Amino acid sequence: MSRAGWILLALLVAMLAGCTEEVGRDSSVGALTDPPAGFRQAAPGMRVNLPEDMGAHPEYRLEWWYLTANLKSADGKRFGVQWTLFRNGVRPGPFTSVEPGWQRDEIWLAHAALSRPDEHHFADRAARGGTGQAGVMEQPFKAWIDHWELRSLDASTWEISVEGEDFRYRLKIQPQQPAVLNGDRGFSAKSAAGGGSMYFSYPLRIIDGELEVGGEKFAVSGQGWFDREWSSQYLKSDQVGWDWMALHLDDGRHLMLFRVRGADDFYSATVVGKSGKARTLTDREFTLTPLEFRNSRFGSVPTTWQLSVPLADINVQVRSWPGDYWNPGALRYWEGPVEVSGSHTGEGYLEMTGYGD
Amino acid sequence: MGLGHVFLSHYQRHPGQLAGLVLILLCAAMLWSGVRSLTGSAENAVARSQAALEPLLSIVREDGAALDIQDFVRLRRAGLCASPRMTVTFSQSAAPAIIGIDPFSAGCLRQYREQQQEGESAALVGKLVTQFDRPLLMGSAKDLLRWKQLSLPHSASIQWEAVEGLSSGELLADISVAAELSADGRSRLQIFLPATELDRLPLPVGYRSQIQDYGVEPDPLVNAFLLSLDALGALALLVAALLVRSVYRFALEQRRRSLEILLRLGVPNTHLRLALIAEVVLVALVGGTLGMWLGGQLASAMAEGFEGTLRGMFNVDSLTMAGPTLETWLGMVLILAVVVAWACADLLLLRVEKQGRAEVKTWRWLAAPVLVAVSLAVLLITDKLWLVFLSALGCLIGAGLLLPELLNRLFALAERYCRQPLLEWSFSEMRVLCSLLQLPLTALAFAIATAIGVHAMVTGFETTFGRWLDQRLQGDLYLDPGRQVDAVEWEKRLQRLPGVTSVLPMVRGRGLLDGVPVDVFAVDPASPLLQEWPFLVAVPDHWSALVTGGVLINEQLARRRSLDVSDAVKVQVGGQVQSRSVVGIYADYGRPDGEMMLPISAVTDALPGSYAAFVLGVTSLGESGWREWPEQFHWLAESRLRDQAGLKQAANAAFDRTFQMTRRLNTLTLVLAGTALALMGLVIFRMRQGSYTLLHVYGVQRRNLRRRLIAHSMLVTGLLGLLAIPLGVFLGWVLVARVNPVAFGWALPLHLYPGFWLLVWAACLLIGALVALLVGNPVRLGTLKNE
């Protein structure tokens, strides 16, 4: 799903409209539905090439590197982290200049958050492309903006380091091979009418990490989910928001699922087996229903969900941690950890947009 | 006849009372909202300018090479909140400079961060982001026009937008636009950091920082000034509250009778109260609304002076005068409703005043000194600003309670020792006046005290500021080289410039005094440009003492570290640690930071972040042709030369306008109190006509009685004026000696202005005379009809 795309587009529209409150959903959707000429479109039949596709795609308008993780300290304290790097093309690439320069070709944005039950910290950064202040290198993999960085240490390990004003984390990450190709071998549809993005993921194992919040340091480990997605395709005008989850079940399986809310809701999911084998689920193969809503800072949001995947014998409740996990900004979104109970137990992340006041 | 009619009929019978009430409320609302509107917008402007004057570090490469984009990236990748600025200048003399910034990192510089936070869609940085995909130049219409006339080859595709709030002669653009235009002119890339960044992280190897704009930052002065203006507005409200209460109290008896009749006729008590509340709200609504509107007019009329001040001191181009919002209007009405409700509390409670008048007097006689004593004690020991204001208010209220009573007792004393019957009667009559006019007299006393206090503060400020300017802006020309230079070499070069008689290098940097980081200001103590510098306190021949192991410190540092002249301190600049003794303390109202002054010989090589500027003395400014220097001498090309005399004149003129405005506000408060007293006096004297008429019947001549009436009135107001003068001096002391040190770390000296006291006292006498003259003939035989 272009969950990140939604966020990025929302952000961009807000930025390009002067970060003013009067930026309405209509105008953002308007920008989403009319892609500017010159950018390449993601289409069915396209394939994912690795490691090249870990790098940037300047010929596409949007792309992102999206990481969420559920962590635990040695004494059992729970944490959630999010890190996202967005790239938005202002002009279609590829850009020929090899020397760094003050350009107006692309904008890079990054969001980082650290959550605990009833606690959420957020930081962001922005930079223009072309200077070297932000960018992505595919081999060896490195994605950065200022001093925030996600990079590979060796063939099987990445390291991420982030410093916000009131939190910081540095984690060693092992992406689980092979890459999970979402949708149709990497092309992930976003509506029944077609259109979508190129989308692959890695389940992550966090082997060694250190985070600091509230003046306290914690050694942590856990598991997470990494998304890589690029597109120039926009959502339909009747689509108002989405719900996205990445879940890690205690039996070793992972699930990524989303619903794009609109005149007709669009559902898609991927289930990843213990061996790493992935299977795409259609809307007939699973159900995802909100059970309970929570009154949050910005209005009511569904924080407990019923998820049923009969063919995988999964029937679970997904419940957000207590608290308020809005990432603030001109167009805010919910990004927070969840716990899973029912036929299986587990944990994961929930992202929601288009709710609230 | 409805209840409304009954209520209305009271004012139909006493239209003067209604007019008086509305007038008082209107004046109070006008003063308060006018002052608030001015200080509010000034605070915003000051906040913006303060951001612009935040100490900024400019990054330079240690190898002396020009900065490029990779240096910016290196600093950002190191985690520093750095932001670039590309300045492009053109050879054409009239061409505005292009200032290219990076809107994505501009938030690091408070100047732009504040703009973003205000959320105005017009925020310049926001505009640069919105228009990121097209080349845009922003500036004043005048500068844009000049730019278009240049018709530079690379500017064909550029779009323009006229905006307010940019410095004249500069156009703002995205840095990429500036980079494109640099082909047509001369460009310079600078990278800035807020000074606080280096407390958090070190600079990467190969770079060092220098102070870009050390800046004169006189905002504490302005803040103190605004604070005092606000206090003045609050006092106007207090005065109004007293006056309104006196009007209502006066009306009490008349109203009570009709209210009691209504009660007896079966109108429920609650209805009466509701009707009274409605009346209160209505009166407040009318007075408040009209007053707010007039306040807006007052603020607009005075905005020019204010704006001049801000422009002079802060380079603030415009003061945005926002119209009153619904919120401020409601707030105003609410404040006035509370004022009026307090005033008519007796009526609202339909309380019958018991015989305990004597008890009240005794209570007041006891409580007032206690209140004054407690408030004074708190005032002397507290270091919290709100407590300073609260305790000052306590003192004021205590004194206000005492003053009419003190007058009364003075007259009682005189009455007792008086042998002449007519004089005895006069004293007794004045006692009655004191008692009846107690509230408006208190209000007048407050107005007098405020006038004297604010005058002491403003005039003291003026004197001090003048002195401060003399110190800071000495010499004829001020030269900022625009980059780090060798002070010794530049001094020699500057001395060779035509017409230059003296050169004073001033090197700034950071150092430690007793382990505490402070600003360092290094000068050549032998310079003739320093010999007139004033000091708060200093040893004899302090300039020589500075060379031989002395250090001069500013007042802030002296207060914070409890240092005095001849105290020994440890001074560290760079690697050197020196033991020095304090040889003088100088006023430094510009900044809240501590600063020490050292001889330049003691710091030449060792001062971290040092930056030299120069003050020049010239034979004749007019003949020196200094304006052409940057073009004539290539090594001065990047320098900024300023004519100090002009700068001083502009700053003084700006403050003159502001001071004039304060005086006008002060006069308005006095007029308000005087008018109210006159209104009340007229009514009271009419009430006392019977007593005068009786004396006339007993044979005292009409002319004599008229003279007496004038004398009574003038004596009461004149004596009150005399008693209020110490209160005014006290208020002045609170403002300069308590409010300023608590708020800003330095005090203004308290000056006494007996000339002004005399003026205020004369005004009091005039008010008294005016009231008596307005009453006219005190003898009216008709008043004896009921006797």
Which of A43-52, A157-166, A205-214, B217-226 shows the lowest mean pLDDT across its residues?
A: B217-226
Q: Hey, which bits of B143-249 come out as E strands?
A: 159-162, 170-174, 186-194, 207-213
Q: Which of B129, B131, B136, B137 to mutate to test the interface with A (most CBs of A within 10 A)?
A: B129
Domain spans of chain B? 1-53+219-353, 59-213, 355-473+664-787, 482-638
pLDDT band at B489 (very low <50, low <70, confident <90, very high): confident
Asked if B569 and B551 touch (Cβ cutoff 8 Å), the reply is yes
Q: Which of A104, A106, A109, A144 to mutate to test the interface with B (most CBs of B within 10 A)?
A: A104
- Asked whether the beta carbons of residue B69 and residue A102 sit closer than 8 angstroms, the reply is yes
pLDDT tens digits, residue range B396-425? 888 888 887 788 888 888 888 877 888 888
Q: What is the pLDDT of residue A108?
A: 95
pLDDT band at B53 (very low <50, low <70, confident <90, very high): very low
Q: Tell me the chain B residues in contact with residue A39 when contact means C-beta distances shorter than 8 Å.
A: none
Q: What is the pLDDT of residue B615?
A: 84
Q: What is the pLDDT of residue B105?
A: 92
Cα separation, B123 vs B144, in Å, equals 18
Residue B119 has pLDDT above 50, yes or no: no
- B187 near A CB under 8 A: no
- Asked whether the beta carbons of residue A104 and residue B133 sit closer than 8 angstroms, the reply is yes
The tokens for B203 are: 């600079």
Of A18, A103, A144, the CB nearest to B121: A18
Asked if B192 and B56 touch (Cβ cutoff 8 Å), the reply is yes
- B129 near A CB under 8 A: yes
- Asked whether the beta carbons of residue B69 and residue A91 sit closer than 8 angstroms, the reply is no
Q: What is the pLDDT of residue B347?
A: 60
**Mean pLDDT within B55-83:** 89
- B183 near A CB under 8 A: no
Instruction: Provide the b/e sequence for A62-101 (b: ≥16 CB within 10 Å).
Output: bbbbbbbbbbbbeeeebbbbbbbbbbbbbbbbeeeeeebb
pLDDT band at B42 (very low <50, low <70, confident <90, very high): low
Q: Tell me which of B167 and A60 has the higher pLDDT.
A: A60
- Asked whether the beta carbons of residue B129 and residue A19 sit closer than 8 angstroms, the reply is yes
Residue B299 has pLDDT above 50, yes or no: yes
Of B79, B121, B174, the CB nearest to A146: B79
**Mean pLDDT within B321-345:** 65
Q: Tell me the chain A residues in contact with residue B112 when contact means C-beta distances shorter than 8 Å.
A: none
Of B105, B123, B132, the CB nearest to A90: B132
**Mean pLDDT within B765-773:** 86
Q: What is the pLDDT of residue A27?
A: 34
Q: What is the pLDDT of residue A188?
A: 92
- In angstroms, the separation between the Cα of residue B462 and the nearest Cα of chain A is 43
**Mean pLDDT within A253-274:** 93
- Asked whether the beta carbons of residue B133 and residue A90 sit closer than 8 angstroms, the reply is yes
Nearest CA in chain B to A91: B133
Q: What is the pLDDT of residue A343?
A: 96
Which of B71-85, B303-317, B665-679, B767-781 shows the lowest mean pLDDT across its residues?
A: B303-317
Residue A211 has pLDDT above 50, yes or no: yes
Asked if B84 and A101 touch (Cβ cutoff 8 Å), the reply is no
Q: Tell me which of B667 and B616 has the higher pLDDT.
A: B616
Q: What is the pLDDT of residue B662?
A: 67
pLDDT tens digits, residue range A62-110? 899 999 999 999 999 999 999 999 999 988 989 888 789 999 999 999 9
* Most confident by average pLDDT, B21-30, B529-538, B678-687: B529-538
pTM: 0.56
A3-352 CATH pick, 3.40.50.1950, 2.40.370.10, 1.20.1260.10, 2.70.70.10: 2.40.370.10
Q: How far is CA B184 from CA B92, B171, B406, in A?
A: 11, 15, 80
B786 contact partners, CB below 8 Å, separation of at least 6: none
Of A19, A131, A147, the CB nearest to B69: A131
Write out residues 94-123 of B within 8 Å (CB-CB) of A.
100, 102, 104-105, 116, 119, 121, 123
Of B76, B126, B175, the CB nearest to A102: B175
Q: Tell me the chain B residues in contact with residue A165 when contact means C-beta distances shorter than 8 Å.
A: none
Q: Tell me which of B77 and A4 has the higher pLDDT.
A: B77
- Asked whether the beta carbons of residue A128 and residue B72 sit closer than 8 angstroms, the reply is no
Q: Tell me the chain B residues in contact with residue A102 when contact means C-beta distances shorter than 8 Å.
A: 69, 86, 100, 102, 174-176, 178-179
Which of A287-301, B66-80, B300-314 shows the lowest mean pLDDT across its residues?
A: B300-314
Nearest CA in chain A to B120: A20
Q: Tell me the chain A residues in contact with residue B81 when contact means C-beta distances shorter than 8 Å.
A: none
DSSP SS3 for A284: coil
pLDDT band at B166 (very low <50, low <70, confident <90, very high): confident
Q: What is the pLDDT of residue A29?
A: 37
pLDDT tens digits, residue range B509-562? 877 888 777 888 888 888 877 877 778 889 998 999 999 999 999 887 887 788
Q: What is the pLDDT of residue B406?
A: 81
How many contacts does A have with B, using Cβ atoms within 8 A? 75
A24 contact partners, CB below 8 Å, separation of at least 6: none
**Mean pLDDT within B132-139:** 88
pLDDT band at A112 (very low <50, low <70, confident <90, very high): very high
Of A107, A131, A163, the CB nearest to B132: A107
Cα separation, B603 vs A30, in Å, equals 63
